[in-house]
Chain A
Amino acid sequence: MDNSSQLAQYILSGLSNGAIYALIGFGFAIIHNATGIINFAQGEFVMLGGMLTIFFLVFLQLPIVPAIALAITLATVVGIAFERLAIRPLKNAKPLSLIIITIGASIFLRGAAMLIWGKDTHALPAFSGNDPLYIAGATILPQHLWIFGISILIIILNKAFFNFTITGKAMRACAYNSYAASLVGIDVKIMVLLSFVISSAIGSMAGIIIAPLTMTSYDVGIMLGLKGFIAVIIGGMSSGLGTVMGGLLLGLLESLGAGYISASYKDAIAFIILLLILFVRPEGLFKKKETQRV
């Protein structure tokens, strides 16, 4: 095994993990941009996606496609309930209080999942087989292609939605200045609700496509949520390319660090990056400094 194929393997593994981080990061960005809060329950939607799919697949014996569709729908309903019951009643609360509420919600969702589905880890069958594919001396699984494909699709849809539809533009308007947006007739409440819908749908989708690789359990959301959070911090809270780059960068650094330095430092690398970014460039690596964001 020569060095170049070893490097190729690190890069490929890094990119595929990075795509997952980016997808989870999106959920953070969308809610942050609509409401100004960071939803720390985002990881729990990733968990819900995977666990609900397994629930429908194994316990209700549904075929895979309806199981996935139902899982995303139900996770989205949970997202709506979360916004209506925990976020909206406190409309005038400070962002900090809301962020603490999201942490509470994440503990609640995790606990509920533990009580309903137990503490076991579950594996979802791969969408199209487990036979590895060889690329430049490195190997990936067909499931990785699904992850890449769905991530790219979601990125494009996102871009199109926020740039070319009235609703998407209205959501962006709320992000810049919700008061001004309400003056021109945009229903801010609906936009906030919509941001929870989109981000819980994306989060659960991410949870479903990675479940065949990483497996899933009631507490899988903590670490994945944090990694997604780091991706979006590197990307400067953007719901576009910044977060994608942030996720890929994080995945690459983790995998190269684990390969060439030591795997014991894998998580340490991620958190050191997070701290460095927060200290040095809190606005993200790929963003020009914005003066209106005070």
Chain B
Amino acid sequence: MFRSGWRIFFVLVITMFMAGSVIAADPIKIGALLSVSGPAAFLGEPERNTAQMLVNEINKAGGIKGRQLELIVIDTQGDATKAVQGVNKLIKDDKVVAIIGPSTTGDSMAVIPIVEKAEIPLISCAAGIKITDPVKKWIFKTAQNDVLAVARIFEYLKKQKINKISILTVSDGFGSSGREQLVLQSKEAGFQIISDETYGPKDTDMTAQLTKIRGGEAQAIICWGTNPGPAIVARNVKQLGIKLPLFMSHGVSSKKFIELAGDAAEGIILPSGRVIVANQISNKELQKKKLLSYINNYSKLYNVEGDHFGGHAWDAMMLIKGAIERGGGNPAAIRDQLEKTKKFAGIGGTFSYSPQDHAGLTKDAFVLVQVKNQAWTLVK
């Protein structure tokens, strides 16, 4: 019994060695720092799934220039300390040539000094403007800035001749960064903020804040948060019989929001990447083919629709792939090629990086979508 066990073990070891020698040289190692669990899991989970899916697809197609890719995923749990430990492991132990993630702005800011010092290119999947402003040599990002999202909403409000707004933001990183932009840009646009309310990320009832807003003279309400808060806000707005148009952030641009808010979601308008309205955009748009294939492949593999957030990882992964194809597999070459990326049509938008711009997107990365009959419709 014992002996045959050993025999099997040796056979296995030998086969593994042989298999290894068949797969050409050593693989290209890419690190992924994503918040797969914890409070930001709604970002990290689709991002991890998407990255893994792409790596499998690329490897099946023969890898990049004959070299296989290896993805090393580290779960940051949305915790900056774990992100720092993870990035050290990726750089020192795994010796990765590039990193995608982290998923949140907090984690990203925490790892940036280490990555800069180690001189490894990193493409963050978080939205915070601080990540690439000021520009840092080794840091890029794919998620659209809040700045662009707010700009898109304000552009629409101006067209509707609305200039008095009330804002309701969640008291976490995402909400306060959104609130900052809302306040700043409404000054520039000459909008008047009638009431400026907040709610806690775990709150289950926002009727008090909304009653206050109902009492004021605002012409529109803008709510900035991620699920489930905004869904409760939508339901409370309906409950209180508020007839003002309600706007949300790109933080809820997934099917889940409509599912949670139910009937109360009708008529809500929000800025979003094109991924949720992929089949409604014009065939002329560069992104369309990639969007449709991403959605199909993702839902085939994971039985849920690919969303906006997974798209950030898609863009990061494909940008790195492009850079390796053009320049080769070492960190410095990847960085230089990333910076030269022009008009790359991805999921989040069309990216053009330059030495002055490591975010790569314009406000055209967002479209406005409205909930109609429990589905997203493109606002033209």
Contact = CB atoms under 8 A, between A and B. Distances in A.
Contact of A13 (B205, B260, B261, B264): B205
Interface residues of A, number: 39
A273 interface: no
B27 interface: no
B204 interface: yes
Interface in B197-216: 197-200, 202-209, 211-212, 214-215
Nearest to A214: B204
B116 to A, nearest CB: 32
Given A119-B41, A139-B241, A214-B205, A6 B211 contact: yes
B170 to A, nearest CB: 11
Interface string A77-102: 00000000000000000000000000
Contact of B198 (A17, A222, A263): A263
Contacts of B235: 130, 213
B227 A13 contact: no
Interface in B217-266: 227-228, 231-232, 235, 238-241, 256, 259-264
A6 B235 CA distance: 18
Nearest to A257: B208
Nearest to A14: B208
Contacts of B231: 121, 123, 215
Contact of B239 (A119, A123, A140): A140
Contacts of B209: 258-259, 263
B211 A259 contact: yes
Q: Is the interface of B mostly helix, strand, loop or mixed?
A: helix
Nearest to B215: A1
Interface in A240-294: 254-256, 258-259, 262-264, 266-267
B203 A130 contact: no
Contacts of A17: 204-205
Interface residues of B, number: 37
A263 B170 CA distance: 10
Interface in A27-68: none
Contacts, number: 97
A223 interface: yes
A132 interface: yes
Q: In this complex, which of B204, B208, B215, B261 has the most chain A Cβ atoms within 10 angstroms of its Cβ?
A: B208
Given A6-B215, A10-B208, A258-B208, A141 B239 contact: yes
A130 B264 contact: yes
Contact of B211 (A13, A119, A266): A13
B215 A139 contact: no
Interface string A2-22: 010010011001100100000
Q: In this complex, which of A10, A214, A263, A266 has the most chain B Cβ atoms within 10 angstroms of its Cβ?
A: A263
Nearest to A3: B215
B344 interface: no
Q: In this complex, which of A132, A254, A255, A259 has the most chain B Cβ atoms within 10 angstroms of its Cβ?
A: A259
B191 interface: no
A123 B207 contact: no
A9 B236 CA distance: 12
Given A119-B45, A123-B261, 13 more contacts: A3-B215, A13-B207, A121-B227, A122-B260, A123-B259, A125-B262, A140-B239, A213-B235, A214-B204, A215-B232, A215-B260, A259-B208, A263-B208
23 contacts: A1-B214, A6-B214, A10-B211, A13-B205, A119-B37, A119-B42, A120-B256, A121-B256, A123-B261, A130-B239, A132-B241, A134-B241, A139-B241, A140-B239, A213-B204, A215-B231, A223-B202, A224-B204, A255-B207, A259-B212, A263-B199, A263-B209, A264-B171
